[in-house]
Structure 1
Amino acid sequence: MDGDQQSNPRTVEEVFRDFKGRRAGIIKALTINVEEFHRQCDPEKENLCLYGFPTEQWEVNLPAEEVPPELPEPALGINFARDGMQDKDWLSLVAVHSDAWLLAVAFYFGARFGFDKADRKRLFNMINDLPTIYEVVTGMAKKQAKEKSSASNHSGNKSKSNSKQQGSVSQGKYTKTLQLRDEDDDGLEEEEDEEHGDTLCGACGENYASNEFWICCDLCEKWFHGKCVKITPARAEHIKQYKCPSCSNKRARP
């Protein structure tokens, strides 16, 4: 595909960056851009595949014509099942196959450029530290993160963190930003980082970092990087009820 023409990773770090870019593109298709993805997967068309590119973009297209193709191909014919399943089940099925495809592409590069046992293990561990696309799409990643901390600890830590954060919890709006701390706040910082470290972005599926702006959807209660949903801290201050792209699309859809 056109988006792959410039991709030729040769080191473990380069292959991992390639993996993350493709993964981010597919997650966008199955979450943020789900309405457009649904529209493009017309069952009346020929066998279609979902491609993710290193540039964090996605594309629904026909499979490569050459046999064998330059890279492993995604699952074929994802459009045919679109109207025969519940949307959430169809998206979950595409997510599972996309996870398998991403691993195939990553280890294709590993084989092509002669990664040894140590490199293959390191690459797998780097990939395995990220939640799968399936976990992000189905909400399992968020559920697993919640199970790691008890409800009592979460409540206690949240109340402590509110007094230190530049963001606020008001009118259903909660933003995570850089914190103003002095030397006496080191213990609180570690406590907050431990609590929020398992929080995952509903768009890209990556972990919370204390130096990033986050916002929570008031409907599905998923957290998002501000950059992933194009919301700035200044804009968030004027939003009374934030609805993520997926929830906005659901409400608009007949």
Structure 2
Amino acid sequence: METPPAAAPAPLPPPARPSTPSYTVECIFRDFTCRRAALIRALTTDEKAFSRKYNAGTESLYLYGNSDGNWELRPPKLLMPPGQPDPRMFGIKLVRGNMKHPKWLAYIATHCDAWLIRISFFLGANLGTQASRQHLSALINSLQTVHEAFVASDTYHRICHLEKMNVEIEDEDEGCGTEPTVCASCGNHYRRNGFWICCDECDRWFHGKCVKVTAAQAEHIGHYECPECCSDKKGHDYNVDPLLSVLYKRY
């Protein structure tokens, strides 16, 4: 009697895929709003505390807006998982360089928006339908961005005002050396970014706007005389600089 052939071994089940937690639109949007609120507060209400912690840091720091509504600064994790890690593990890297304080905070705000969007779309990748993803996008777009909220805040206007005052003080200090300190026409202090012109007769300096001379016009004037020196001079020869005859007709 023949022995029946052995049955073929049953195929192995496919390897189990790593479980991905399921999120609803409402859950993802709630996570987005909590993190967003934390980041806005860090750059506005808590701006002084945020700047103090950053300035006290001795290593690279990242800003995190947590799902519990709190923000924190901390260094990056030393060990990162292989592959494409969860974007929630990465915060916003704080790099300042030579940027002024208002511009630096606005720069951070734009990266906060990019970070929030990345997290939301990472969590929303497994939403079942296109309609769900569109609904999530509409909810997110119904809110101000972190950048928009920051530039509209009182904090932003305050630090811009302080920055402007500091620049004016620096300009006045720079004008106290060899540069002219006051306009001989209006008496206002020297400003570094304004156009000034020096009279070749009396050696006094003037705002270009006070003597109605622009920087472009000054390039074509070989010998400049202020209106007062011209009025004191009898028989002034405008043929030396014909452009002056046009300029002084305005006075």
> What TM-score does the superposition give when structure 1 sets the normalisation length?
0.48
Q: Greater share of helix residues, 1 or 2?
A: 1
Q: Which of 1 and 2 has higher RCO (CA within 8 Å, sep 6+)?
A: 1
Rg (Cα) greater in structure: 2
> What TM-score does the superposition give when structure 2 sets the normalisation length?
0.49
